[in-house]
């Protein structure tokens, strides 16, 4: 990991920060080195290592570039964990080989009117037969620029408040999903932060992650795990 960070990331750090863009060669290198699937089983193309190993990798990458460390951290502690913890066997077979090989995941929770109070979100998912139709807007979505799959928090029954929130797996090429212009940030610029909108996005019922109405529990559990990864990141670039 140290060799990869020094030889393939370090020479590009200034360029990536100035251009506010992660180099494709860095992303490809992370996948090739198995750093985007550290805890995934070998049957899915992962490394089969531990959560502790993930934290060590994040620490090493953060010594060179915080943005690259963040990409690795979010992929391992959020995207991969969501699939392995809550995914059905079919979802695991479909998505785990992809996120191990070349697909970045992005978690869509925050909205223009619900940041710190994330569970007051306004994005809706209306059931239509075997599908749900999602409409709404998300803000400050990390990794959205390069993501190939999104975890979208939407309320299936607003009358239930936060207990109606459900998590949907939405592929980037789904009609009606739009990734907006990334934010011009002061730091960690190579890691994209973008708005994402959903206009009549049709998602099959089989793409629900976990159970209907359990999205808030899923989010709390995964974000707590992610905070450990963020701590590992900031420890070494501070």
| Same-domain check for residues 166 and 82 | no
Q: How far is CA 90 from the centre of its chain?
A: 20
In a domain, 178, yes or no: yes
On whether residue 147 sits in a domain, the answer given is: yes
Rounded to 10 degrees, the C-alpha dihedral 124/145/93/79 comes to -80
Total domains, the chain: 2
Give the CATH number, domain containing residue 188: 2.40.110.10
Residue 182: its pLDDT value, please?
95
User: Are 81 and 159 in a shared domain?
Assistant: no
Q: 217 in a domain, yes or no?
A: no
Q: Please tell me the predicted confidence (pLDDT) of residue 115.
A: 67
- pLDDT of 196 over the 70 cut: yes
Same domain assignment for residues 92 and 141: no
Boundaries of domain holding 197: 105-210
Examine residue 54 and state whether it is found in any structural domain, yes or no: yes
The two tokens of residue 215 are 């999205």
Would you call 135 exposed, middle or buried from its count of C-beta atoms within 10 A (0-12, 13-18, 19+)? middle
**Residues 78, 134 share a domain:** no
> Does one domain contain both 178 and 126?
yes
Does the pLDDT at position 237 exceed 70?
no
118 has pLDDT over 80: no
Q: What is the mean pLDDT of the chain?
A: 95
Whole-number Cα distances in Å, 236 to 139, 172, 216 = 27, 32, 31
Residue 151 has what pLDDT? Answer: 98
Query: What pLDDT shows up at residue 223?
Result: 80
Cα(209)–Cα(206) distance, rounded to whole angstroms?
8
Rounded to an integer, the average pLDDT of 202-222 is 95
């Amino acid at each position: 990991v140290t060799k990869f960070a020094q030889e393939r990331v370090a020479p590009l750090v200034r360029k990536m920060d100035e251009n506010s863009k992660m180099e494709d060669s860095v992303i490809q290198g992370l996948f090739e080195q198995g750093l985007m699937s550290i805890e995934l089983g070998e049957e899915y193309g992962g490394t089969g290592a531990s959560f502790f190993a993930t934290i060590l990798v994040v620490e090493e990458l953060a010594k060179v570039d915080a943005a690259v460390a963040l990409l690795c951290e979010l992929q391992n502690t959020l995207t991969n964990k969501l699939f392995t913890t809550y995914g059905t066997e079919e979802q695991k077979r479909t998505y785990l080989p992809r996120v191990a090989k070349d697909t970045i995941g992005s978690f869509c929770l925050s909205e223009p009117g619900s940041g710190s109070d994330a569970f007051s979100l306004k994005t809706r998912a209306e059931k239509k037969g075997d599908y749900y139709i999602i409409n709404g807007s998300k803000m400050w979505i990390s990794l959205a620029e390069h993501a190939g799959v999104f975890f979208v928090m939407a309320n299936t029954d607003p009358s239930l408040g936060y207990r109606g929130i459900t998590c949907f797996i939405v592929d980037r090429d789904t009609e009606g999903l739009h990734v907006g212009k990334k934010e011009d940030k002061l730091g960690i610029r190579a890691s994209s932060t973008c708005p994402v909108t959903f206009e009549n996005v049709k998602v099959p019922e089989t793409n629900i992650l976990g159970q209907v109405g359990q999205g808030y529990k899923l989010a709390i559990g995964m974000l707590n795990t992610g905070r450990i990864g963020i701590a590992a990141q900031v420890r070494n670039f501070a």
